[in-house]
Chains A and B, each alone.
Chain A
Amino acid sequence: MNPVLKLLIDGGSLTTGQLAQVAGLTEAEVHQHLEQLRREGIFLGWRPVLDLSREAGAALAVRAVIEVKVTPERGGGFNRLAERIARFDEIESCYLVSGGYDLLVFVRGATLQRVASFVSEKLSTIEGVLSTSTHFMLRCYKEQGFLLGADESQTQRLNVAP
């Protein structure tokens, strides 16, 4: 496996310079690997993981997860409709899932009203969308591997031990 990809999967938050040191490569080689991964469509980009509930002035602080039922189409199945829905800027992530509904959609907006109007005016009016069920997120406990609130840092570890 690409050595840089392996480090990325492990989920450390290292700079490219640090990635180079850990992998035993030059920084230029790390950039080459990243470029290769980008060309292959594996590496899509960098994104910070944020807890915006702590930032009073933050826009886009309201999040919802929406269960969407759609009518599959002959030939394309769910793909055309899913890709069309996924293009909206409001949508962070969109998955086809098994079970009682078809698409699971993660939405972010500035206010509850903005998200609600996106659902009622845009999403549910798309031809082929049968129903939506919107769940507003109330509180986050873990975000992409980061625990919120519970501090398990090593501050209690002794500095010197046998």
Chain B
Amino acid sequence: MSTDAQRWVAGHIASLPKSGIRDFFELVAKMKGQDVISLGVGEPDFVTPWHVREAAIYALERGKTYYTSNLGMIELRREVSTYVERHFGVTYRPEDQVIVTVGVSEALDLAFRAFCNPGDKVMFHQPCYVSYHPSISLVHGAGIAVPTFAQDNFALTAAALRAAWQPGAKILMLNLPCNPTGGTCTRGQLEEIAAFCREKDLLVLSDEIYSELTFEGIHTSIASLPGMAERTIFLHGFSKAFAMTGWRIGYACGPAPLIDAMMKVHQYAMMCASIIAQEGALEALKHGWDNVVRMREQYHRRRNLIVRRLNESGLSCHLPRGSFYAFPDITATGLSEQDFSVGLLQQQKVAVVPGLAFGVNGRGHVRACFATASDQVMEACDRIDRFVQGLRK
């Protein structure tokens, strides 16, 4: 009999590639203690505001340590409903159209498991967050990557969608503003995408986790467009705007039968999100807006700074309208994104993430997160400049 433990691993997991970020993480981890400035993170540099932490501590003191309703605490669902209506212009009933999840990541997994039959086709724009394509593979779905381009500021266009569309496509996954590109769509562009979804009868999963971090104009949710709420699952959470990544808390809103389907998976797989995280989230929604605005102002300044400096160094970089990522084109250096990232790390001790980690359309780019203190961003830009000028010699 074989002694290889690998034989127990399911086939579709064995063939699932590891995240490209993982390799790079190992490389950076080896340089511990060497004054590395990391622009490689995907989370705020702010600690969760104290009033939120204090509310969670208070909840613990009062003995809030039990399960909640599968859908999440009704008080939190009411606040979510109010918040989404006020900020996104879509109304969801807290009783049956909102589910609280362990971050948007879980919400996404629930959605794929609830809506995707084996072989169903799921369209997603790329470059994109590292988990989208693997999550589709995990439910035996077939991913269709739709490219977005620097010349469009990485906005998704209906034309690109139409070109990539295949018969049998069932779901469109959106992430606007986008990790890693910072790309967003104008209302006009979204209306064209919405029309396409109605024409092709697509269900939309819209991950809007970066929506509060929109620097120019107003964020529009596709769910708010006419005829879209009934075919959209709105996914959101607290990690980015409220600086609550480690709490793992998010939510999904949508038509009651679809939320009910997601709830079936959730109740068997997860039961409920952590009650302490739910208490923190409740406090964040009730009293956290001032901090969201304060942090956004900081990100806005850092964005202007890093984009200007990268362009001055000869790395062509579009101005991301949202998120906290710059996604410069590094092809002018003559290096691949992998060689650029490794060289920059080893020679100048700045960590960025090679664009290929976000899909083949990320080639020629790197992701630089500017959720780092301004003086660190400036120092990182100085080092990047030295690295790029060094290549020219």
Contact check, A154 vs B45: say whether CB atoms are below 8 A apart: yes
| Distance between Cα atoms of A23 and B302 in the complex (Å) | 9
Of B21-29, B204-212, B250-258, B283-291, the stretch lying at the interface with chain A is: B21-29
- Which of these, A7, A22, A159, contacts B40 with CB under 8 Å? A159
By beta carbon, the residue of chain A nearest B41 is A161
Given contacts A14-B374, A21-B378, contact A157 B301 (CB under 8 A): no
| Distance between Cα atoms of A158 and B378 in the complex (Å) | 20
What would be 16 A-B contacts, judged by CB atoms less than 8 Å apart? A7-B301, A14-B374, A18-B378, A21-B305, A21-B309, A22-B301, A22-B302, A24-B305, A152-B47, A157-B45, A159-B29, A159-B41, A159-B351, A161-B40, A162-B21, A162-B131
* Shortest distance between the CB of B339 and any CB in chain A (Å): 17
Given contacts A10-B298, A162-B129, contact A157 B375 (CB under 8 A): no
| Distance between Cα atoms of A18 and B377 in the complex (Å) | 10
B38 within 8 Å of A (CB atoms): yes
B304 within 8 Å of A (CB atoms): yes
* Shortest distance between the CB of B368 and any CB in chain A (Å): 12
B43 within 8 Å of A (CB atoms): yes
| Distance between Cα atoms of A154 and B45 in the complex (Å) | 7
Task: Please indicate which of the listed interface residues A12, A14, A18, A157 has the most CB atoms of chain B within 10 Å of its own CB.
Answer: A157
| Tally of A interface residues using CB under 8 Å | 17
Residues of B within 8 A of A152 (CB): 47
* Shortest distance between the CB of A115 and any CB in chain B (Å): 32
B158 within 8 Å of A (CB atoms): no
Residues of A within 8 A of B378 (CB): 18, 21-22
- Which of these, A7, A14, A18, A160, contacts B38 with CB under 8 Å? A160
* Chain A residues proximal to chain B, CB less than 8 Å: 7, 10, 12, 14, 18, 21-24, 152, 154, 157-162
Given contacts A10-B298, A22-B374, A152-B47, contact A159 B38 (CB under 8 A): yes
| Distance between Cα atoms of A14 and B301 in the complex (Å) | 13
Residues of A within 8 A of B19 (CB): 162
* Shortest distance between the CB of A160 and any CB in chain B (Å): 4
B271 within 8 Å of A (CB atoms): no
Task: Please indicate which of the listed interface residues B21, B42, B301 has the most CB atoms of chain A within 10 Å of its own CB.
Answer: B301
By beta carbon, the residue of chain A nearest B131 is A162
| Distance between Cα atoms of A159 and B47 in the complex (Å) | 16
* Shortest distance between the CB of A25 and any CB in chain B (Å): 12
* Shortest distance between the CB of A121 and any CB in chain B (Å): 42
Contact check, A24 vs B25: say whether CB atoms are below 8 A apart: no
Contact check, A162 vs B28: say whether CB atoms are below 8 A apart: no
Contact check, A160 vs B25: say whether CB atoms are below 8 A apart: yes
* Shortest distance between the CB of A35 and any CB in chain B (Å): 22
* Shortest distance between the CB of B341 and any CB in chain A (Å): 10
- Identify which of residues 285-320 in chain B touch chain A, using a CB-to-CB cut-off of 8 Å: 297-298, 301-302, 304-305, 308-309
* Shortest distance between the CB of A16 and any CB in chain B (Å): 13
Contact check, B25 vs A159: say whether CB atoms are below 8 A apart: yes
| Distance between Cα atoms of A162 and B47 in the complex (Å) | 18
Task: Please indicate which of the listed interface residues A14, A24, A159 has the most CB atoms of chain B within 10 Å of its own CB.
Answer: A159
4 closest Cβ pairs, A-B complex: A160-B40, A160-B25, A159-B38, A161-B42
B353 within 8 Å of A (CB atoms): yes
Residues of A within 8 A of B114 (CB): none
| Distance between Cα atoms of A14 and B376 in the complex (Å) | 11
